[in-house]
Amino acid sequence: MATRLLTTVLAAALGAGLLASQQTGGAWPDFLTFYRQSLAQHGIVGSSIALIERGRVVERAHVGLRDQQTGSAVDDNTIFHWASITKTFTGIAIMRLRDEGRLTLDDPIVKYVPEFRRVHNPFGPVEQITIRHLLSHSAGLRSGTWPWGGQEWHPFEPPGWEQLAGMMPYTRIEFAPGSKYQYSNPGIVLLGRVIEDLAQEPYETYVDKQIWRPLGMTRTFFDRAPNHLRGDRSHSYFVTDAGTTEAPFDFDTGITVSNGGMNAPIDDMAKYIAFLTGSRDAATQAGYDAIVKRSSLEDMWRPVVPVSSNVQMGLTYFLERHGGMDFIAHSGGQNGFISHFYLHQASGKAYLVAFNTQTTSQKSGNARNTRALDAAVTEWLIGRWF
């Protein structure tokens, strides 16, 4: 009952349409000018952005194309790849299993992934590496899932568990677990394996049933698109000094799905942000709590290890301080897609942005870089909207 009500409330809120620009303090027209000019300056083929307040989309914009070849424009239906933002859903799934008493964060990873015993840990027994270490990117594991080579015959990502397991005897823990931060894709893949071990079903099935469906994220999927959504899936592009190249379309992230396999339109992601924000409506919050306890989300937003002078790592979420304000955030980047969200809990304000182009052009007088553009969007919004 709570889940049905939650979906209804979210649909009503998100379907209410755009609010007047006064909701953004008059800043929206100025932002749109900046946003459109910046997209053109950085050679972005297509992008979407949404401002969200207390779970409602108050402004949104779509600029450019989702498919250069056909000239199809980015619109409300366009589905972007959110890459590493998937990690936050993996973290929520782990916390849900903790809520149910099926694991603790201090359990050693080898309890659920016995193949991990073959990893070389020069700092002590491999049993000292815990689920908490993996959630906080402090286990000492390398950054890349597939770190060797770069040959054309290598897979896009390791397609099956046996490939990742086969790398474990050649994997070395690089620092004392828990002592510092190092972003680790394989660490999150291991957590996906934990979820499958305890749920006794594929990771994708568990997340869809226990998180996406209750939130009403009906157009969200992992990896390759179902036929009825394939036409809305954005293509992606790499732009360099040599020109524009289309990236592989409708790709499969293989065994790394729990690390970065999610695809969704902006409105589905706005439902996720509404869930993170929480609700003052008791029935809606009850639906949220059926997914994971609010206290567990708040546990994920407590600092574990420092990342930089103004960024801390929580449990799969980055905790950032900008302009005297605290934000919950995560970015994504894969196969030409770049994405980000920032949530300011104190005000209930957030934004989502997705680009379908990765630019790395360094021509004199015309340097273009999507990550620099992403940072500029954050700086503008923090300075003039949050």
Residue 372 in tokens: 């620099």
**C-alpha dihedral over 120, 123, 127, 130, to 10 degrees?**
-100
Classified by CATH at the fold level, domain 2-384 comes out as Beta-lactamase (3.40.710)
The model's pTM is 0.93
pLDDT tens for 233-258 read 999 999 999 999 999 999 999 999 99
Please tell me the predicted confidence (pLDDT) of residue 146: 80
Closest CA to 353 of 243, 273, 283: 273
| Poorest-pLDDT segment among 8-17, 224-233, 244-253 | 8-17
pLDDT digits (tens, 9 = 90+) for 168-213: 999 999 999 999 999 999 999 999 999 999 999 999 999 999 999 9
Q: What percentage of the chain carries pLDDT values higher than 90? A: 87
Residue 49 to residue 351: CA distance in whole angstroms: 7
Closest CA to 339 of 353, 318, 320: 353
